[in-house]
Amino acid sequence: MKERENQSVEWKESWQDEYLKWICGYANAYGGILYIGTDDDGNVVGIVNAKDLLERIPNKITDTMGIIADVNLLYEGELEYLQIVVDKYPSLISFRGKYYYRSGSTMREITGKELERALLKTQGRTWDGVPLPKLSVADLKQDAIQLFKEKAVKRGRLTNEEVSVEDTILMDNLHLIDEDGYLIKAAMLAFYKDPEKWVTGSYIKIGYFGKSDSDLVYQDEVHGPLIEQVDKTVDLVYTKYMKALIAYEGIQRVEQFMFHKDAFREILLNAIVHKDYSSCNPIQISVYEDKIYIWNDGEMPPNLDSTDKLFMKHSSKPYNPKLANIFFKSGMIEAWGRGFEKIKEACGLYDGPLPEYEINESGIMVLCKACDRYLALLRDDGQHHGQSDQESDHDNDQDIMEQIIVFCKEPKSASEIMQQFNLERSYFRRHYLDKMLLTGKLKRTEPEKPKSKKQKYYS
Query: Hey, CA dihedral for 373, 379, 383, 385, is it positive or negative?
Result: positive
**What is the C-alpha to C-alpha distance for residues 50 and 378, in angstroms, rounded to an integer?**
77
Mean pLDDT of 175-201: 95
Predicted pLDDT of residue 386: 43
Q: Do the beta carbons of residue 383 and residue 377 sit within 8 Å? A: no
Question: Using H for helix, E for strand and C for coil, what is the string for 84-106?
Answer: EEECCCCCCCEECCEEEEEECCE
Mean pLDDT of 250-272: 91
Predicted pLDDT of residue 3: 59
Predicted pLDDT of residue 429: 83
| Residue (of 309, 341, 335, 302) closest to 321 by Cα position | 335
With bands split at pLDDT 50, 70 and 90, how would you rate the model's confidence at 390? very low
Strands (E), 87-226: 94-95, 98-103, 106-110, 204-209, 216-222
Residue range 207-216, pLDDT digits in tens? 999 988 888 9
Name which residue leads in pLDDT, 132 or 310: 132
| Residue (of 9, 75, 3, 2) closest to 37 by Cα position | 75
**What is the C-alpha to C-alpha distance for residues 262 and 347, in angstroms, rounded to an integer?**
9
Which DSSP category does 279 fall into?
G
Buried-exposed string 183-192: b where 16+ CB fall within 10 A, e elsewhere: bbbbbbbbbb
Is the pLDDT reported for residue 141 higher than 70?
yes
With bands split at pLDDT 50, 70 and 90, how would you rate the model's confidence at 7? confident
Task: Give the DSSP H/E element, type plus range, for residue 154.
Answer: helix 142-154
User: What's the Cα-to-Cα distance from 308 to each of 94, 303, 343, 351, 429, rounded to whole Å?
Assistant: 38, 11, 13, 18, 21
Is the pLDDT reported for residue 112 higher than 90?
no
Mean pLDDT of 426-446: 85
Predicted pLDDT of residue 383: 43
Predicted pLDDT of residue 5: 59
In 204-297, which ranges are continuous DSSP H helix? 226-236, 261-274
- Range with lowest mean pLDDT among 68-77, 98-107, 269-278, 363-372: 98-107
Percent of residues, the chain, with pLDDT higher than 90: 59
Predicted pLDDT of residue 214: 86
**What is the C-alpha to C-alpha distance for residues 437 and 443, in angstroms, rounded to an integer?**
6
Distance of CA 293 to the CA centre of its chain: 16
- Please give the mean pLDDT across all residues of the chain: 88
Mean pLDDT of 337-364: 89
Q: pTM score, two decimals?
A: 0.65
Mean pLDDT of 58-87: 94
Predicted pLDDT of residue 336: 59
Q: Is 448 helix (H, G, I), strand (E, B) or coil?
A: coil
Residue range 410-434, pLDDT digits in tens? 999 999 998 888 887 877 887 788 8
Predicted pLDDT of residue 157: 96
Which DSSP category does 240 fall into?
I
Which DSSP category does 437 fall into?
H
| Residue (of 145, 151, 186, 201) closest to 273 by Cα position | 186
Residue range 113-138, pLDDT digits in tens? 778 777 777 667 788 999 999 999 99
With bands split at pLDDT 50, 70 and 90, how would you rate the model's confidence at 302? low
Mean pLDDT of 93-115: 84
Q: Which amino acid, 334?
A: E
Percent of residues, the chain, with pLDDT higher than 70: 93
Buried-exposed string 256-290: b where 16+ CB fall within 10 A, e elsewhere: bbbbbeebbbbbbbbbbbbbbbbeebbbbbbbbbe
Q: In this structure, which topology does domain 9-124 adopt according to CATH?
A: 3.30.950
Mean pLDDT of 297-320: 77
Which DSSP category does 109 fall into?
E
Candidate CATH numbers 1.10.10.10, 3.40.228.10, 1.20.140.10, 3.30.565.60; the one for domain 126-384: 3.30.565.60
Q: Do the beta carbons of residue 334 and residue 328 sit within 8 Å? A: yes
106-110, strands of its sheet edge to edge: 94-95, 98-103, 106-110
CA atoms within 13 A on the CB side of 198: 25
Going from N- to C-terminal start, the domains of the chain cover 9-124, 126-384, 387-458
With bands split at pLDDT 50, 70 and 90, how would you rate the model's confidence at 399? confident
